[in-house]
Chains A and B, each alone.
Chain A
């Protein structure tokens, strides 16, 4: 009798998340919950201005505060060659400012004291004299030759431009435009947003001079990358560095970079020989740590009258803040922006990009996104929307003409990606039926007679999830593969460790389900551990929806290695040759005699108690997995809104999300991912952005200005699924963590635009706040969100 896979918590089981047992009881262990004997507390003094030469820093009064143990400045860091550190994009970033302030919130000094209150009191006593320089709050200001050079610390940096980059075939694309019947254009700004995990960043550095060992508890999505970076920067040998990422209260890309606070706490621990805890506050997190987006997107599309896309051009101008600190693979300067239009059959495409320094916080992290894919797909779907209107074609019909057909896979995109699977048109059909697409036009007209403005918006996309392969994808040169290590104990229970790092995704639940699927060991019998570099195998961490595509594949592969060894043991136990052994879930049996068999638990026991001659004892192994390709999930989202013409307020009437992420390991967790992503997408479309005033002050430094939606205003979402297994992934799964964040915003925006574009408006930049929508309705003109916000 074969096991019931759902009952043992295998593939397809909506198993309750095992980690929630501790989270909902308040028993999670986050960095701030760690208390070490003799621990000191660190507070960072941040700049109040955006751009200024530092004339002087006087820390003498801070040293006088009782309980203060150490006050660190950039000068002291510089003495140890730690005033600057490398970023993930081969730039440098100031740890503590020595020469100049380059954004509001930049780290100037740190106080280490007996308790955090004292540290905060002492910080307030540090006197900094500034000589203010003009704030440069967008790339167009940065282009102005009259503006000062922000990175005057660098040689060969005569302007504020960071890079020019291009990809695609210019000639072929020009040709396509020459042959076009219609050319459609669009200009967009994807505003700066912040991943804003509930838990801010923090670290506890504990340097033991007796052993030479440095242990750092840290809020990191990628602890092994941190270990490598610390080994390089701090000149501590890698085997003497232990990075522990305990429970993380969300990450969303914000906890990929290495922040000054981590580095300062490490030096502070070395100098004081005491553990030093640094916990950032919410404002510190919002104003200084890795932001997302902040890109101006210009596009043109060459179209044939019948709706066929002939080619597209895209130009991006991106604002990277004071230090180019994007987390992205080396060979791409603007992430995977060129994944745009991957789901459409576009014969020719050309992308050009410029990046600029500004006096804003650095980052450019992949906020719930595979390296700028969010911007790429938002651009794509806003461009598609505009093009359908310019052609006078129905939005759904235009997309269905151009979506890659099922029989075209594998499909090479104009920018060189290889998409491998999908049922795009089927997803469209499921979504159109669920939202009643065919009735909408009549509904819209009828509503208009009653003075109501209804709109419908579509967003479809496939995105490249699960970097590597290692041929093309790396972070600071470290190739993007991942790993898993599985030990099956004598009693058939097991421990699994991977190089990924869960931060809410539910790895402790889903990884066990993969093992259950491969070995028939009940998921409840498997404990999953991640985040401790002394115990976990080397891996690149969790972001860019890469865990299931890469680490999840490694889990399946290591389980298969275990099964292969168990088969040898089973043959020994059953006294037949290995070739005569058959496998069913959880059990080996003798071919032709299904009654005669042994369970995987029997094999585990034998591995420690009854080993055949010539076989090593034990039942454990590891696997490093380098995926042959990215995974390509597909999303088709449909949104229906009503706009209040008198106020510009809009409400979502219905939202239908069709996701194809291949085989679903835990459908409940997939649904949770989609709901969470759509909530973030709604936030970006509706209310959320970080902007700056003319002086470079960050507007969005707290949760009263930077808005996170609550259950109160977040609309309901109807979820549907289509399953096209990934052809190369061992269990057929594709990434899903970010699909909704990536595809979601354009669905909302296209819906609102559909409701108001009878006035002639083509674009309102996100967030579509009531005032912007109202202005567009009144004027019929585009509303640009270009900062800075003028006050007064």
Chain B
């Protein structure tokens, strides 16, 4: 594996990093965890002229809840930081469930949450959870910061909404109204395999009633599938056999899978429906137990 020739810079500040991107007019790539970028460079699927390594920039490895209740995740937070968090399962069960299923344990030690969002792989796990949670990305460029809704951040396969001279410095998950419920299920043939199909569901529960409902899918379309509208049939309802069936049907209809060596389009759609049903049944069961 021999990549094309490239230059490498490891700036100490965000301003320097942004200046390097700005000066290289689209030929530079930001290197954080490198778990997707390095293989692509090795295989020459990507041949950037410059890699800007942001790992030496202090102050980007935080994960905290701010005064407004937003969860803020800095650009250098690794997958395993979410996986090992003791508070995340209660506050953000959807993220907690996905944290164990991202790639494999080795990749999770280096790969970053924000980097994975930027990579915009149609089979990526975190993008699905963030769309389900209504999250946002903070992009910083020469002219300062702006926020981008996750629904507008992923433009297509491996394409995000960042300008060439912007760095995604932070991901924001808005506060839950009520009690957070949700999960992430993924069908993979082997740990670290790309998802055959995966489902992220995030609900805000007001007692037994669904407040906000979020859902997104990976592996079943040319890009991460935004199924928030589909699952909104649950809003204002309680979780019962009927409402769960309706939601699962609606979400499965939103999937846009292709037949390939991982299975037929029908099979993948069926898995989506099965997983939505399983997640919602689990939530309903735990609500019942709590009540």
A residues within 8 Å of B by Cβ? 43, 116-117, 119-121, 124, 281-283, 646-647, 649, 686-687, 691, 699, 702, 704-705, 707-710, 712-713, 769-771, 774-775, 789-792
Contact = CB atoms under 8 A, between A and B. Distances in A.
A711 to B, nearest CB: 9
Interface in B1-57: 1-5, 43-44
Given A710-B192, A771-B267, A774-B267, A699 B261 contact: yes
Given A705-B261, A769-B262, A771-B196, 7 more contacts: A43-B2, A283-B43, A691-B261, A699-B261, A770-B189, A789-B260, A790-B259
B3, B189, B271 pick with most chain A CB within 10 angstroms: B189
B179 interface: no
Interface string B167-208: 000000000000000000001011111101000000000000
Given A117-B5, A647-B274, A774-B270, A710 B261 contact: no
Report, nearest first, the 6 A-B pairs whose CB atoms are least far apart. A771-B263, A712-B191, A771-B267, A120-B2, A687-B189, A707-B190
Contacts of A775: 264, 267
A770 B4 contact: no
A630 B189 CA distance: 38
A791 B262 contact: no
B258 interface: yes
A770 B1 contact: no
A710 B191 contact: yes
A712 B104 contact: yes
A748 to B, nearest CB: 14
27 contacts: A116-B2, A117-B3, A120-B2, A121-B5, A124-B44, A281-B1, A282-B1, A283-B43, A646-B274, A647-B274, A649-B187, A686-B189, A687-B189, A691-B261, A704-B193, A704-B194, A705-B261, A710-B192, A712-B104, A712-B191, A770-B187, A770-B189, A770-B196, A771-B262, A771-B264, A774-B267, A789-B260
Given A691-B261, A771-B264, A792-B258, A647 B271 contact: yes
Nearest to A767: B189
A283 B3 CA distance: 15
A121 B2 CA distance: 9
A121 B274 contact: no
A789 B105 CA distance: 31
A713 B188 CA distance: 11
The residue in A116, A702, A704 that gathers the most chain B C-beta atoms within 10 A of its C-beta is A704
A686 B189 CA distance: 8
A34 to B, nearest CB: 18
A774 B267 CA distance: 8
A789 B261 contact: yes
Contacts of A699: 261
Contacts of B260: 789, 791
A769 B4 contact: no
Interface string B251-268: 000000011111110010
Contact of B190 (A43, A283, A647, A709): A709
A525 B113 CA distance: 54
A790 B1 CA distance: 30
A600 to B, nearest CB: 49
A770 B196 CA distance: 10
Contacts of A712: 104-105, 190-191
Given A647-B187, A771-B196, A791 B259 contact: yes
Given A691-B261, A699-B261, A791-B259, A769 B189 contact: yes
A283 B45 CA distance: 13
Nearest to A703: B192
Q: By CB atoms of chain B within 10 A, which of A124, A282, A704, A771 has the most?
A: A771
Nearest to A283: B43
Contacts of A283: 43
A771 B219 CA distance: 14
Contacts of B1: 281-282
Contacts of B264: 771, 775
A690 to B, nearest CB: 10
Contact of A713 (B187, B190, B261, B263): B190
Contacts of B196: 770-771
A760 to B, nearest CB: 20
A117 B2 contact: yes
Q: Which of A647, A699, A702, A774 has the most CB of B within 10 A?
A: A647
Contacts of B259: 790-792
A770 B263 contact: yes
Contacts of B187: 647, 649, 770
Contacts of B43: 283, 702
Contacts of B194: 704
A791 B265 CA distance: 10
Contacts of B192: 710
Interface in B119-167: none
A686 B190 CA distance: 9
Contacts of B104: 710, 712
A710 B190 contact: yes
A712 B100 CA distance: 12
Contacts of B271: 647
Contacts of B189: 686-687, 707, 769-770
A686 B188 CA distance: 12
Nearest to A714: B190
A702 B274 CA distance: 30
Contacts of B267: 771, 774-775
A702 B187 CA distance: 20
Contacts of A704: 193-194
Given A705-B261, A791-B259, A713 B191 contact: yes
Contacts of B105: 712
A66 B226 CA distance: 50
Contacts of B4: 117, 121
A568 B259 CA distance: 76
A347 to B, nearest CB: 42
B190 A687 contact: yes
Nearest to A791: B260
B54 to A, nearest CB: 25
B266 to A, nearest CB: 9
Contacts of A702: 43
A183 to B, nearest CB: 34
A85 to B, nearest CB: 27
Contacts of A121: 4-5
A466 to B, nearest CB: 34
A452 B158 CA distance: 40
Nearest to A707: B190
Nearest to B5: A117
A511 to B, nearest CB: 35
A603 B259 CA distance: 73
Interface in B247-291: 258-264, 267, 270-271, 274
A707 B262 contact: no
A6 B44 CA distance: 54
A687 B191 CA distance: 11
A709 B188 CA distance: 12
A43 B258 CA distance: 36
A771 B187 CA distance: 10
B287 to A, nearest CB: 22
Contacts of A707: 189-190, 193
Contacts of A646: 274
A708 B190 CA distance: 8
B258 A769 contact: no
A419 to B, nearest CB: 37
Contacts of B5: 117, 121
B281 to A, nearest CB: 12
Nearest to A705: B261
Contacts of A708: 190
B263 A769 contact: yes
Nearest to B271: A647
Nearest to A281: B1
A281 B43 CA distance: 10
A118 to B, nearest CB: 9
B47 to A, nearest CB: 10
Nearest to A771: B263
